[in-house]
Amino acid sequence: MNIKIKKIIESCLQEIDLEDEVISKTLSSVDFVEVQKTTSESHGDYYSNIAMKLSKFLRKNPETIAKQIKAIILEKKYEQIKNIEVKKPGFINFFIENSARASIVTKIIKSKNIFDGFKSMNPKKIHLEFVSANPTGPLHVGHGRGLIYGKTLCSILRTQGHDVHTEYYVNNIGKQIDILSISVVLSLMNLKKPFNDVDIYNGKYISTIASKLKIKYEDKLIPLKNDLTKKDSFSSFLEYIMVNLDSYLELRNSVIDIIIYEYIKIDLDELDVVFSNWFLESELIKNNFVYNILDKIKDKDLSYLKDGAIWFKSTKYGDDKDRVLVRANGALTYFATDIAYHSIKLKKYDQIINVWGSDHHGYVPRLLNALKGIGYDTTKISIHLIQFANLYRDGEKISMSTRSGEFITLKSLIDEIGSDAINFFYIDKKIEQHLDFDINTALSKDKDNPVYYIQYAHARIEKIKSKIDLNKLDFDNAQLLESKEQALLRLLNSYEDTFRMAINTLQPQMITNYLYKLSQSFHSYYGNIKIIDDEINYSRVSLIIAIQKVLKDGLNLFNINAPEDM
**Interface of this chain with RNA, residues 72 to 111, rule: CB under 7 A:** 87-91, 93
Count of CB atoms situated within 10 Å of the CB of 129: 23
Question: How far apart are the C-alpha atoms of 538 and 469, rounded to whole Å?
Answer: 10
Q: Are 302 and 335 in contact (CB under 8 A)?
A: no
Name the DSSP letter for residue 305: E
Shortest spacing between CB 250 and RNA, in angstroms: 20
Q: CB within 8 A of 463, min separation 6: which ones?
A: 565
- How far is the C-alpha of 129 from the C-alpha of 383, rounded, in Å? 10
Site size toward RNA (CB under 7 A) is 92
Nearer to RNA, 189 or 547 (CB): 547
Site track 201-220 with RNA (rule: CB under 7 A), x = hit = --------------------
* Stretch in the footprint of RNA (CB under 7 A) among 181-189, 399-407, 412-420, 507-515: 507-515
Q: How far is the CB of 251 from RNA (least distance, A)?
A: 19
Residues paired with 326 in a beta bridge? 310, 332
* Residue 399 interacts with RNA (CB under 7 A): yes or no: no
Q: What residues contact 76, with CB distance under 8 A and at least 6 apart?
A: 8
Residue 47 binds RNA (CB under 7 A): yes
CB of 91 to RNA, least distance (A): 3
Least distance from RNA to the Cβ atom of residue 216, Å: 26
Give the type of residue at 434. H
Interface with RNA (CB under 7 A), residue from 387, 402, 479, 556: 387
Considering the complex, what minimum distance in angstroms separates the CB of residue 215 from RNA? Answer: 30
156-169 burial string, b = 16+ CB within 10 Å, else e? bbbbbebebbbbbb
Three-class SS of residue 551? helix
Site residues for RNA, 460-489, by CB under 7 A, read 460, 463-464, 467
- Show contacts with RNA in window 247-286 (CB under 7 A): 281
Q: Is 445 in the site for RNA (CB under 7 A)?
A: yes
Q: Which is nearer to RNA, 379 or 505 (CB)?
A: 505
CA-to-CA distance for 259 and 251, rounded, in angstroms?
13
**Residue choice 32, 95, 240, 334 for contact with RNA (CB under 7 A):** 334
Distance CA 312, CA 337 (A): 13
Can you name the residues that pair with 48 across neighbouring β-strands? Answer: 35, 92
Nearer to RNA (CB atom), residue 61 or residue 190: 61
Site for RNA in 288-327 (CB under 7 A): 306-309, 320-321, 323-324, 327
Asked if 487 and 521 touch (Cβ cutoff 8 Å), the reply is yes
244 binds RNA (CB under 7 A): no
Nearest approach in angstroms of CB 226 to RNA is: 29
Using the minimum distance from each CB to RNA, give the nearer residue, 28 or 42.
Answer: 42
Does the protein bind RNA through residue 225 (CB under 7 A)?
no
Provide CB contacts within 8 A for 393, sequence distance 6+. Answer: 438, 439, 440
